[in-house]
Amino acid sequence: MTPSVAASTAFPPGPRTGTRPLNWVMMIAGVMLTVIGLALSAAGAGLIVGQESQRDGQFVFTETERFRAVGNAITTSPIAVDLGEGGTVEPGGLAIDDLITVRLRATPVVPDQRIFLGIADASAVDEYLRDVPHSVLGDDPWDHGYDDGPAIWGTEPHPDDALREIPATRTPAPPVEQRFWQHSTTGAAPQTLDVGLRSGNWVVVVMNADGSRPLWVDLQVGAHTELFGLVDSTVPLIAGLVGLVLGVPLVLFGAAGLGRDVGRRGDAGPARAAEPATVPAGPDPLRLTGHPDPGVSRALWLVKWIAAIPHYIVLAVLWSAACIVTVAAGLVILFTGRYPRSWFAFVEGTLRWHWRVGFYAYAVLGTDRYPPFTLGRADYPADLDVVYPDRLSRGLVLVKWWLLVLPHLFITALITGGGVALATASRNGDGVSWSFTLLGLLVLIAAIGLLFTGRYPQGLFALNVGLNRWVYRVASYSLLLRDQYPPFRLDQGAEEPAPDRISARR
């Protein structure tokens, strides 16, 4: 008989953990302004780069792709273009040719080999290449075969880049003798063809100039547009910078206020350092606890994702603010060696909030009690504390969050990767494949066990909490809350292990 989880520990009522609405308003407004500012700044920078790349009639090209075909030609699949009546773009009746031009470039791989590059109506090409061996470049000439990824040609090998061979036996007449080409060029040097967009069903064709086989050619596609000239790139850039200038201080002031609100009620890290009865000294600065609820519902986990949506929305805002606060705190630590206490309490509270939601939902499924909307401590079976450090290394702040933590990041990616099961469509579209993270798989096993037996195996619960403890230790280190390197040790169970137990293990 599988042992079940023991009854949860009784928790004394915690102090009031209310926070002032003004601090929430400042933080939320700051996050919104910062996000909008970042988006506008990125758009403005992108427009500037785009304008520079298109200045004086320049074209932006894809990387060169080399193609080999055993037949007489390489073609694209038909490209349907519908510009409507007159081929204009509203407003102002601008001709599409004035806005965008596509340039095709073909370079023979064999020295002195004359090649032909042309574009024509699909029906004419179909008639010309009927019973002629040729290759078709996927369903979309600007994409990797049937892939749904970015629409570019790349230089890296890709399984869908292989040309689709159309077997036949007829030898075609030289393409230069045909009169149906809308645009064409031929020669031994690299050939370029500017294509103004017109309504129709078009096919691009590359051949040897004499129509012989095989064909070996390097291809590129470029584009030039006057659209960038219609937009003043400085407007979104300036607007974005204004948003950042206004938003970042609001986030920092709001987060500091929320941190002070938590600390004022005896819940911040500095206050807890003097309360050994509440936060006992342990081997790790982070203390994560999670006590199981003996009455966990068999089927409530099926809909907890809906119940947790309000928390997910709040956490999205909190984590956006926490990232900004961490950057600002890193600068302060670099010059002073100290983490501002109010910001520390805010980031710690964000971790605490996240852990409670995860304990309720799909990181553990340890309780059916709805998580409180608070950054501070509360009467809840899951809790998290980080001991406030009096001093932090100025030098470590430059490397610990991205370089020193790398070994742990590989492990946490294996453990959680978001803590859920991911479904991904196979590249060739022949079905759906399922992949699970370790924690997601364990929680799924626990959920199925609850559904059919109403029991949560004690060992599985302890393992799930231990895996989360590892992840949150790494998170506290990456967020600059500590200098002590997270141990490569899986401490399982509802409570942090006592120092004597760890010493005995060693």
CA nearest to 141, candidates 219, 60, 211, 224: 219
Among 62-71, 117-126, 433-442, 452-461, which stretch is predicted with the lowest mean pLDDT? 433-442
The confidence band for 199, taking pLDDT boundaries of 50, 70 and 90, is: confident
Mean pLDDT within 341-363: 97
Mean pLDDT within 488-501: 86
The confidence band for 195, taking pLDDT boundaries of 50, 70 and 90, is: confident
Q: What does DSSP say about strands 191-196 and 73-76: parallel, antiparallel, or unpaired?
A: unpaired
Q: What does DSSP say about strands 60-61 and 215-225: parallel, antiparallel, or unpaired?
A: antiparallel
Q: What percent of the chain clears pLDDT 70, i.e. is strictly above it? A: 79
Mean pLDDT within 466-489: 96
What is the Cα–Cα distance from 22 to 26, expressed in whole angstroms? 6
Residue 389 identity: P
The confidence band for 378, taking pLDDT boundaries of 50, 70 and 90, is: very high
Phi, psi (rounded to 5 degrees) for 255: -65, -40
Per-residue model confidence as pLDDT tens digits over 111-163: 999 999 999 999 999 999 999 999 998 654 333 333 333 333 333 444 335 68
What is the Cα–Cα distance from 401 to 483, expressed in whole angstroms? 10
The confidence band for 61, taking pLDDT boundaries of 50, 70 and 90, is: confident
Helices and strands: H and E segment counts in the chain:
12, 18
- Under DSSP, the state recorded for 431 is -
The pLDDT score that the predictor gives to residue 161 is: 54
What's the number of CA atoms in the CB half-sphere (13 Å) around residue 367? 25
Mean pLDDT within 50-59: 81
Interacting residues of 211 by C-beta distance below 8 A, sequence separation 6+: 72, 171, 172, 173, 174, 175
The confidence band for 89, taking pLDDT boundaries of 50, 70 and 90, is: very low
Exposed e or buried b for every residue in 50-87, given b needs 16+ CB within 10 A?
Answer: beeebeeeebeebeebebebebbbbbbebbeeeeeeee
Mean pLDDT within 328-356: 97
The confidence band for 37, taking pLDDT boundaries of 50, 70 and 90, is: very high
The pLDDT score that the predictor gives to residue 374 is: 95
The pLDDT score that the predictor gives to residue 148 is: 36
Cα–Cα separations (whole angstroms), residue 387 to 268, 273, 274, 331, 345: 9, 6, 10, 21, 10
What's the number of CA atoms in the CB half-sphere (13 Å) around residue 233? 14
Per-residue model confidence as pLDDT tens digits over 462-473: 999 999 999 999
